[in-house]
Amino acid sequence: MVSEIDKRKNRVVLSLGGNIGDIQLVFEKARDSLQKTVGELVLISSLYQTKAWGVENQSDFLNQVIVLETTLSPIEVLKTCLAVENELGRVRKGKWHERVIDIDVLFYGNELIKSKELVLPHPYIKDRNFILYPLVEIMPDFVHPIFKKTLLELKNNCKDELPVVKI
């Protein structure tokens, strides 16, 4: 039996990234699949283009942030995101390497989670402009539950110097 608290809708913030193939089409398919499996899409950022972060000798990335309302648990959201990545042809070549799609769970409400499978909020948010720019576009006043600063404040203090271009 599902309790009332389990039926409560929670806002989950996801980032989409990719740099292989028709990225915009892949993002569209990912959003469609996530709406069917995770929940209702309530916010969507513009697309942003950046140079590769971490492993630099590869094509530029497109990035986008979406917010969905879900009744799934954080771990169920993660497993669903991994399944969608696989559906869309994600091949894991190594950390920060090229990919058709990468879906990261950034926030699940204000939940703080630290497990082997999932850390929330995502630990690198404050260090990556390619995540902060789309986040600030759609939720600038959201307060990071660990740093107690708005996303706009985190963006303004980010040391990442890779240019981020809204497309």
Tell me the one-letter amino acid at 79.
K
Question: Hey, which residues does 68 pair with through a beta bridge?
Answer: 12, 41
DSSP sequence for 129-159:
HHHHHHHHHH-TTPBPTTT-SBHHHHHHT--
CB 126 within 8 A of CB 120: no
Measured CA to CA, the distance from residue 17 to residue 64 in angstroms comes to 7
Alpha-carbon distance of 18 to 101, in angstroms, equals: 4
Q: Among 6, 22, 32, 99, which one carries the catalytic annotation?
A: 99
**Separation between Cα atoms, residue 17 and residue 26, nearest integer Å:** 10
Which residue out of 8, 22, 104, 160 is catalytically annotated? 104
Which of 90, 127, 141, 160 is catalytic? The answer is: 90
11 carries an active-site annotation: no
Q: Does the active-site annotation cover 128?
A: no
Active-site residue, from 11, 60, 92, 102: 102
Active-site annotation holds for 31:
no
Is 99 among the catalytic positions? yes
- Hey, which residues are catalytic here? 90, 99, 102, 104
